[in-house]
Structure 1
Amino acid sequence: MRILDEAHFPELPNYYRGKVRENYDLPDGRRLIITTDRISAFDRVLASIPHKGAILTQVARFWFEETADICANHVVAYPDPNVVVGRRLDILPVEIIVRGYLAGSTDTSILTRYKRGERDMYGIKFPDGMRDNEKLPEPVITPTSKAFDGGHDEPLTPAEILERGLLTEAQWETVSSVALKLFERGQALAARRGLILADTKYEFGTDSDGNILVADEIHTPDSSRYWIAESYDQAFADGARPESFDKDFIRSWVGARCDPYKDPIPEIPAEVIEAASDVYAQAFEMITGRRFEPDISGATVKERVRDNLVAYYPEGSWGRR
């Protein structure tokens, strides 16, 4: 299978490896962001899924274009299916998660905390008697600290964000307002495709003029929870997990077999990896309305990416002699 599990090119400057993306800061103020096929959950990398990186990049491209009227974003160019060139931003240290349903499987999710008996979460009071995956009266924002260098996300309230100086009051008002508008747009367009956008995560950054832009990714199967609308009501009535088109497929498989925060991750079988790849391809097609056709040029995905990034190599390095 063609997999991009790493994308380190020594010829490119200022390399930084994240859980899923590999980044290069260019001298002109732009950043190369290469999305690999690695899948991350529970604050760790679980496996690599064929074509996942290209699908995430292209789904994000679709949504960046569909939401540019709400908030500007970091995108400059797409030189390869797995690569976006963006403006280098100062990333705000708070991740903005918007939730429309009582769902989730991570320690910071409202469903996990609700089942532990918590009712006051993220500065929001939740009523007793709610059920798994129940629709909330209205979307809510559940912010977390942004984990750097292998740290863990920490739940925050708006008051804590301001008290700690993580954001100014003006920044918080902007990102919270924009996030709700982006989520409303996402839910509306997803509904037209037969999907429910149950929740999602946004990251924002500031440019050199202090303007707030959407960064990283938006409404992808990794940053969002998508359910099949047609089967949701029956699944909810039966107390079953809704059909999903997102990384819950792998997350649920792992979570059913170990404590993913403490135990070693079991080896994920090839058939599960292949099924996950199919889920991502189907998600691309349902979200965008276009057929997913993987780019199979180049001997490997990494070689194709390398060829498509020649223009960004410094003079005198590989490909620029």
Structure 2
Amino acid sequence: MTAGSVTQRARHAPLVLVETANLSRNEWLAYRRRGIGGSDVASIFGISPFRTARDLYFDKLDIASVEEDEGNWVAMEMGNLLEPLVAKIFAKKTGYKIYQIKKMFYHPLYPFMLADVDYFVKLPDGTTAILEIKTTNYNARDSWWLDGAETVPVYYESQGRHYMAVTDIDRVFFCCLYGNNEEEVIIREIRRDYAYEEEMIFLEQEFWDNHVLAKLPPPYWEPGNLIMESARRHFGAADPDAPVVELNSSMSAKLIRYLQLQEEKKNMEVNSKQIDKELQRLKGILVSEMGTSCAAVCRYGEVNYTITYNPVRKTGIDKDGLLRLKLQYPDIYEQFISTSEFRRFNVKASAVDAA
């Protein structure tokens, strides 16, 4: 059945893939690899701030696991620990009854679409809604507004709309805690959009059939920093002994475009953020093509090009290492630590006292 059948709006009941109450973390991840979950959709759309579509592909084939927010494990753990509290705040503020169903669901027509919902909401009119719990820091709360209007960040919106499609539920609430009291929460609601849903299902099916099942990695087209990080995770450290990579015609064209943009940037009087982004993206694509190799070559017209991407290593002590040194070997720490001094210049204005 094609994604276009969504527009018929026939109601359905989601099917249960597995009971999740007693699953270990590894077991839960193994079940999630059987399809596309709500938090996966942003990667397919290219709007995830954490991972690329290729990262998701690697994860589904169990080649390399990539957790969202894995660079900030403390924030992820805090989110898990605070989930029941944030849900309680939502229930208190709205007066709605909330409950959990410890099951992983899948769509009866598109079995690759999975949903593991945080909470369900019983509404006064007898209908059911979904509740997704989020946490963030005080500064990041601004992402819940767009040009002064209330909104849901796009990568969370895609998650909510995926869950609505799987469960056949028409409303999703988000409750996001950004402070340390019940007033510092954000509550948003989105309702079902069948046009969005149809396109979403089409893209999810294309990713699942043409990449995961076909074992064909999707191309990189995300921001350069995400591409570079993805390549680093997948390939690991540079190997000076790895053979030189010969770039194909497609990669050669990207290299020429990279050089053209570099020349444009030199001739511009004002720096262009758009050019910088495109340069970083093209660099990321070329680096990912090189893998662990430190050199790549190609010929374009009558010119031979050589790319080098050599590791630069330096030793040092990071903050955690310095703290361990201070705690475990305080005498050595005091012997080698140095103190520097600087002065901060500041101007402060105040009203003149009346005579």
- When the two structures are superposed, what TM-score results if normalisation uses the length of structure 1? 0.25
Q: Which is greater in Rg?
A: 2
- When the two structures are superposed, what TM-score results if normalisation uses the length of structure 2? 0.23
* More helix by percentage: 2
* More strand by percentage: 1
